[in-house]
Structure 1
Amino acid sequence: MTTPTPIEAVIFDIGNVLIEWVPENFYDRTIGEARRQEMFAAVDLHAMNDRVDLGEGFRDIIYETAEAYPEWRAEVRMWHDHWLELAHPVIDRSVRLMRALRARGTPVHALTNFGVESFALAETHFDFLSEFDMPFVSGEMKVIKPAPRIYEMVEQATGLRGSAILFADDREANITAAAARGWQTHLFDGPEGWARRLVAEGLLTEAEAA
């Protein structure tokens, strides 16, 4: 019988795992759902954000997009000017789980699609973002999930491969790409399920995961 490879590191996505990232909610609150739907149909804001996540300038790309859609200029600029309100709220239990793992001595990394400048801004507001053993930020890496190269780069930096890694992400495409490299994966749909998985893997006790 083959002995399972012990998990040597846990990797967290950030958006919708540690911090809620649903920009639509911000716009629904500020301009109303109907107008938000109209804007998102007219402007591919998520494609704009992908460019930031690939390392292009945070303000530059958003303001450039705003100028390309003058009828939505003010609203598009909010993506930059009110970014901390878009990245809200913190998923508190996930942060506790991350800290509990680190308290046990388990290496904990981040693998996130995030811009260079927006991540730096987030670090000034969310203290736990400075607590990872290694933060892997797409804007610095110039590649975004689910491209296979980003997972390869994590393996090279950590010296870990395959089932030695347990990775949580809220997007199925990102999980599928990690699993294709042999990583152990968890499709995050809330901190309760993630806590159960960490307990089941023997990484935390039930009390530590509470």
Structure 2
Amino acid sequence: MTIQAVVFDIGNVLIEWQPERFYDRVIGADRRRAMFAQIDLHGMNDLVDRGRHFTETVYDWAERHPEWRDEIRMWHDNWIELAAPEIPRSVRLLRALRTRGVPVFALTNFGVQTFDQAIPHYPFLGEFDRSYVSGHLQVTKPDPEIYARVEADCGLPPQALLFTDDRAENIDAAAARGWRTHLFDGPEGWADRLVAETLLTESEAA
């Protein structure tokens, strides 16, 4: 079946998402390791990705851990520095697909408020034909429900969707539904896949 839409994850595909790197720079690697060992900050962020309010969630966790209050609040107050920088070639591939008239969707674990905050910094986030944001859907990858909701909304059969994500469990869940998939480990390999699928030429994918 011909590919009729390309589906992008966002974190570590279009925008680098490495919170530990931010904390290493700001508070030092030793203190960061101690904090992350004591507090499940990624679990906190998962709540936001499932639809919980960003400010309320982070500030509540900060109050629950007063010894790390200021550092936890950085997750909120400096969030755009955690979600940075963009991955330029991936953005070019997104735009090249759109120029070719290939529908491009986003399927991302992202909070409602954080996604809204990211768009002014990363205008390409507003360029998708359809955006499936977990905070709005209140379900996250790799839950099969989120893929089913994409299929129901876009009206395309699973085999017509080509999906890239940097997490194997998200790719595996999509593949189990019949989606075509690409485990993202850098824009070079993704570009090669798009060329192999004849969605882009080599020059368009450069």
Q: Which bracket does the TM-score occupy, shorter chain normalised?
A: over 0.9
Q: CA RMSD in A?
A: 0.4
In the alignment, does 2:74 pair up with 1:39?
no
Alpha-carbon distance between aligned partners in 1 of 2:178 and 2:110, rounded to the nearest angstrom? 24
Distance 1:97 1:124 in 2: 20
2:7 to 11, 21, 24: 11
Is there any run of 5+ residues in structure 1 with no aligned partner, and where?
Answer: none
Q: Distance between the aligned counterparts of 2:125 and 2:108, measured in 1?
A: 11
Distance, in Å, in 2 between the alignment partners of 1:58 and 1:150 is 21
TM-score by length of 2: 0.99
Identity over aligned pairs, percent: 65
Comparing 113-122 with 157-166, greater Cα deviation is found at 157-166
Quote the offset at 1:65 in angstroms: 0.4
2:80 aligns with 84
Partner amino acid for 2:68?
A: W
Task: Confirm whether residue 24 of structure 1 aligns to residue 20 of structure 2.
Answer: yes
SS at match of 2:146: helix
Which one-letter code corresponds to 2:118 in the other structure? Answer: A
Query: Is 2:133 aligned against 1:160?
Result: no
Q: Which position in structure 1 is the counterpart of 2:62?
A: 66
Q: Secondary structure at the match of 1:90?
A: coil
Alignment of 1:100-179 (within 5 A): 100-179=96-175
- CA drift of 1:163 comes to 1.4
Structure 2 residues without counterparts, runs of 5 or longer: none
What is the rounded CA distance, in whole Å, between the counterparts of 1:208 and 1:33 in structure 2? 40
Q: 1:50 aligns with which of 18, 24, 46?
A: 46
Secondary structure of the residue aligned to 1:20 is: coil
Q: CA deviation at 1:162?
A: 1.7
Instruction: Please tell me the residue identity of whatever aligns with 2:199.
Output: L
Between Structure 1 and Structure 2, how many residues are aligned? 206
**Distance in 2 separating the partners of 1:104 and 1:32:** 45
Q: Distance in 2 between matches of 1:111 and 1:33?
A: 32
Aligned partners of 1:21, 1:145: CA distance in 2, in Å? 16
Which amino acid in 1 is paired with 2:121? H
Letter in 2 for 1:141: L
Structure 1: distance between partners of 2:8 and 2:35: 31
Q: Distance in 1 between matches of 2:157 and 2:80?
A: 34
Q: TM-score, normalised by structure 1?
A: 0.98
Match among 186, 192, 199 for residue 182 of structure 2:
186
Q: 2:92 aligns with which of 85, 90, 96?
A: 96
Aligned counterparts of 1:164 and 1:194: Cα–Cα separation in 2? 17
Instruction: Give the Å deviation of 1:97.
Output: 0.1
Runs of 4+ in 1 over 2 A off after TM superposition: none
Output the amino acid matched with 1:27. Answer: Y
